Amino acid sequence: MTRGRRCWLVWPAAIVALACGACSAQDEIVVAISTDLALPKDFDVLQVQVFEGGDRKFEQAYERLGEADPAARLPATIGFYSANGGGESIRIKVSARVGDALGPVRILREAVTRIPKDRVALLTLPLDFLCDDSGRSDETGDVVSTFCEEGQTCVAGACVSSQIDASALPAYSPKDIYGGGAGDGSGDCFDVTRCFEGGAPAEVDAETCSIAGERGATLNVALQTAAGDGICDDGEDDDRRCLVALDAGSDAGFRVEEDGRITLPSAVCGRMADRIAAVLTAPTTAACAQKTAGLPTCGPWSASGSKEP
């Protein structure tokens, strides 16, 4: 399949020309979409919309996520090429829906950026638990924010600017998305329930929204949800734990300070009263590396770690 005047889709890494014409592979932005939730339990439709100015250039709903015949697996990548040497301003909306392409919206993530020039850049737009209830459908069927003002988007439960400087984005590399793999089931994934099997609740300092750590120790951190969101173990009733693993070294996950203390997103403390039952920590092991943005979770929805070695 050649690049040129036609638009195309290649799954599981979906490649779509933004504008038909003399498209160049060197003027491209690749959007990587992941989640910390469980599919299809928490949502089963991924919707992607791209606008240039006021014009809708691309819209696609990927259904049956987590099923035996999904339209996509996560992380999913979708690339947009330039027809004019790069520089076009685009607005990207990715949303998590339930049921079908017109179903309720759970999460909305937006970005306003430009197609880069003379490079292939990576833009990550995760659909994460801390931004649940951040979007809805309006009367036209468009997805709009219920959480942030115009020009902002939800990241880790907080509203931040949706403007992204394309020149500051890293170069695209599949291994940085698919646990060292290529998105075809190769690479590694993070087994949430196994890695937190012996996880212990941590005492959360609500004032600093942080927990105690140990200088030099490498830990994983997860949120135990109160309403069954996230990846659940095999326990029953009160013994069943549903977890959302946080990414290390990330403002949207957790950061380890110089003294070893672990700083969490402020939204974690804001949701301890209703949506979050506990914060758990677990040491890394040979079988459980530290969870990062480039190490996706294991599950039937995963594009990483599902291929037999």
Phi and psi, residue 55, nearest 5°: -95, 135
- 199-209 per-position pLDDT tens digit: 999 999 999 99
Burial of 237 (0-12, 13-18, 19+ CB in 10 A): exposed
State residue 307's pLDDT score: 65
Sheet holding 276-283, edge to edge: 200-201, 276-283, 219-225, 242-245, 231-232
Interstrand relation of 24-33 and 119-124 (parallel, antiparallel or unpaired): parallel
Distance CA 133, CA 98 (A): 12
Give the residue extent of every domain in the chain: 13-176, 192-283
In degrees, rounded to 5, the angle at the alpha carbon of residue 17 between the alpha carbons of residues 14 and 93 is 65
Tens-binned pLDDT, residue by residue, of the chain (309 aa): 222 222 222 223 333 333 333 444 578 999 999 999 999 999 999 999 999 988 888 999 999 999 999 999 999 999 998 877 788 899 999 999 999 888 999 999 999 999 999 899 999 999 999 999 999 988 777 899 999 999 999 999 999 999 999 999 999 999 999 999 998 889 999 999 999 998 999 999 999 999 998 777 899 999 999 999 999 998 777 778 999 999 999 989 999 998 889 999 999 999 998 999 999 999 999 999 999 999 999 999 999 987 654
Superfamily of domain 13-176 in the CATH hierarchy: Immunoglobulins (2.60.40.10)
- Residues 109 and 126: beta-carbon distance below 8 Å: yes
12 Cβ contact list (under 8 Å, min separation 6): 72, 73, 76, 183, 184, 303
Nearest to 152 by CA among 107, 110, 114: 110
20 Cβ contact list (under 8 Å, min separation 6): 5, 6, 7, 83
3-class state of residue 55 by DSSP? strand
Sign, Cα dihedral of 156, 243, 206, 291: negative
Sheet holding 204-205, edge to edge: 204-205, 210-211, 262-263, 255-256
Is the peptide bond between 12 and the residue preceding it cis, with omega within 30 degrees of 0? yes
- What's the Cα-to-Cα distance from 223 to each of 48, 134, 151, 279, 288, rounded to whole Å? 27, 19, 29, 5, 17
State residue 207's pLDDT score: 94
Beta-ladder partners of 152: 161
What's the pTM? 0.89
Interstrand relation of 24-33 and 76-82 (parallel, antiparallel or unpaired): antiparallel
